[in-house]
Every structure is written in C-alpha cells, then in structure tokens.
A and B are shown apart, each in its own frame.
Chain A
Amino acid sequence: GENVEQHPSTLSVQEGDSAVIKCTYSDSASNYFPWYKQELGKRPQLIIDIRSNVGEKKDQRIAVTLNKTAKHFSLHITETQPEDSAVYFCASVGNTPLVFGKGTRLSVIA
C-alpha cells in the first residue's frame, strides 16, 4: 500500500522567514496530494492541494510543488507569521484512501 514519509517532524523559524516541509510517497498511482493544517485542539483543515497534472500551485503565502518522477511534494510557506504555528500533514491519494504523513510541528517565533 501507499507509504508517505514527511520531514522534518519539527521545524522552528523566525517570523518572516520561509518554511519548507517535504514529503515522499511510494504509490506511483497516487494523483492527489492535499495538505492539512491542524492547530492545537482543532480539526485538520485543508490549506492547499495539488493534482498530478500540475507541478506547482500557489495560494498567497502558501505554495506546493510536485515532482511525480521523484515521487515527492513539498509545502512552502513564505513570510511566516505566528498564526502559521500548527501541525502540518501531507497526504496522498491513489488506489488507496487518503494516507497521511506523520506531521510536522511548525513553530514561528516572533
């Protein structure tokens, strides 16, 4: 079945700096890659997603890139703010239901 690896597990950045979270997947049939943000005590919420027919997608300060050949995708957050602090999960969908990475705890230090 699908296996999603996510790195790093924790990440601390200064406010205003960029943050990058990387994920790899194993199932070449995977074709949908959402990213979820979970703030403390709250539900995971979709922040951006990308499908396999595109290589990059951007939404304001958030961007996701996908390299299907290498089977990896990344989340980029620019100009980080304290409210970006949360746990971020990557996920992939192919022939199996949504499979999540282990999460990255991002701390933005003011």
Chain B
Amino acid sequence: EAGVTQFPSHSVIEKGQTVTLRCDPISGHDNLYWYRRVMGKEIKFLLHFVKESKQDESGMPNNRFLAERTGGTYSTLKVQPAELEDSGVYFCASSRRTGGSRTPLHFGNGTRLTVT
C-alpha cells in the first residue's frame, strides 16, 4: 500500500507569509494526525482528525494555524501569517479507525518549514 505522503518536502518562506502543507494519509485510515518537531526537541502533537472531524486540536499553538480535512481524505495545515518560531518539521501520521491512538501510527516524511 502507498504510505503517508506529504507535500512539499521543504518550504522556505519569509515571516508574515502564508504556507499550506498537505498530507495524504494511507487509504482507508480514518485517523489523521499532525505533529511538529522543532529542532532538537520532542515531536509534539498538534491535532487529530477522525475522518473529517477534529477529534482533538489541543496541541495547536495559536489561531495562526488552521487545519482542514474536507471529505475525510487528505488534510491541509495552513500557517498564516508565519512567524520565526513556526520553523520545524511538520509530520503527518495516519492509522486505522479501530483502537484510535493505540494502534501504530504511519508517518509521512515530513515537511521541513523554515521561516526567515
């Protein structure tokens, strides 16, 4: 099966600009997660979709971040306007419905975002 794919792999933008990250989960995976890793630190949870619904968005840092998953397939994460501290690697992960977070997550390769 095709894995989780993320686009773009790298993005360099200036402070104040907008960036949209995309994630295509594994087909049939209802659970979709966004995580972020700032250099040298832990992988931090941002939010969790079950199909098109936001199950948990407690990790979203502020209202400059907007995630959507229209139709319950792919998801986008928009950062507007971007700040320097938003730099990091944004990972998307998916898993099957059964078991929720207690089933193995399949990660994408991540999008490395650099805000200058």
Contacts and interface: CB of A to CB of B under 8 A. Distances in A.
Interface of A: 4, 6, 31-32, 34, 36, 42-46, 49, 51, 89, 93, 96-103
A102 B109 CA distance: 18
Interface residues of B, number: 23
Interface of B: 3-4, 33, 35, 40-45, 48, 56, 59, 91, 101-102, 104-110
Given A43-B108, A43-B110, A44-B91, A101 B101 contact: no
A31 B109 contact: no
Contacts, number: 51
Contacts of B105: 34, 46, 98
B101 A42 contact: no
A103 B39 CA distance: 11
A34 B102 CA distance: 9
Nearest to A49: B104
A40 to B, nearest CB: 12
A66 B56 CA distance: 27
Given A43-B91, A43-B110, A97 B48 contact: yes
B104 A34 contact: yes
A42 B6 CA distance: 12
A96 B48 CA distance: 11
Contacts of B43: 44, 89, 100, 103
A42 B45 contact: no
